[in-house]
Amino acid sequence: MKEKRALVTGGAGFIGSHLAERLTELRNNVSVIDNLSITRNNVPVLKSKDIEVIEADITSYKKIFGYFKDVDIVFHLAAMNRAVKSINEPLLANEVNITGTLNVLEASRKNNVSKVVNISSSSVYGSSKAMPRMEDSILSPTHPYGVGKLASEHYANVYNELYGIETVNLRYFSIYGPRQLGTIEHAAVIPKFIYRIMNSMPIEVYGSGEQKRNFTFVGDAVECTVKASEANNAVGETINVSTIEEVTINRLISLLESATGKKAIVKHMEEIKGEIKENPADISKAKSILGHDKWVSLKEGISNTVEWNKNEL
């Protein structure tokens, strides 16, 4: 993909800023829409790459509509993306993740955007007993965030089938890496643990710590997303984006201790209601459709992430 006009919603965030940079490296004209409610930290980085940063909220159709004019492809990453926050604020989660997605798709349709890559989540699988997680598995989300992401997939599919917009759904599995903030409310586990370990603060482990996750490095997520925009046979598809390397939270803590050179202070908490025990991904489609078969190991990814945090703190 090159020499296209690309718009990235949520493009000033953790994953979105990496994607916007990569698209620029590939010689595309890139703009991002972000309400900057989480952080403004990445704005200088984006502007230094001549990426236009538009401060707007996807929940307002009227405010975002005009920015889709003359756009070739939209990457939709903007979301309220924390499960716990969605449990506490289900109405806001619905407005951002469902209505917001519909606004993005409709603005794309009315402005004749040819393709939308919609970013979904492994949260759509929820309490499904099907293992490993395959794209055609039974879906049973356990919180409003998962419900919203599933709805976003359905809307993307409808816009493909009814209106002819080329859409692709990508289900991200636990993305981590540089620029992911560990100090924000409801921070993701890896950046939160890194920050607290490096500052000799206790980390909270819910339950036994034996729950397993597939932590996926942000660079892999970005490459899969770019490839999804390029592959003609990805249109109309839903694709898992995940490493196949599973790790328990306890093992993750050991890796973080090695990378930071500091011992973690672990505080065990009650299990979170609705949290799943494991979430193994089948990535056959990522290999066959996207051609992505080399994934950054968790050890290497953590090392890169810790180094970034050391430079920032």
Q: How many other C-beta atoms can be found within 10 angstroms of the C-beta atom of residue 245? A: 16
> Which amino acid is located at 77 in the chain?
L
Q: Are 256 and 301 in contact (CB under 8 A)?
A: no
Q: Which residues pair with 238 in a beta bridge?
A: 169
Rounded CA separation 76/229 (Å): 12
Q: Are 73 and 108 in contact (CB under 8 A)?
A: no
Q: Are 156 and 195 in contact (CB under 8 A)?
A: no
From the candidates 125, 145, 159, 176, give the one annotated as an active-site residue: 145
145 is catalytic: yes
Q: Which residues pair with 265 in a beta bridge?
A: 202
Residue 144: exposure state from Cβ atoms within 10 A (0-12, 13-18, ≥19): buried
- Where are the alpha helices (H) located in the chain, listed in sequence order? 14-25, 43-48, 61-65, 83-88, 90-94, 100-110, 144-163, 189-198, 218-230, 249-260, 284-288, 298-312
Q: Which residues pair with 31 in a beta bridge?
A: 7, 52
Q: How many other C-beta atoms can be found within 10 angstroms of the C-beta atom of residue 170? A: 26
Phi-psi map region of 141: left, alpha, beta (phi>0 left; psi -120 to 50 alpha): beta
Helix and strand numbers (H, E) in the chain are 12, 13
Rounded CA separation 252/232 (Å): 37
Catalytic residues: 145
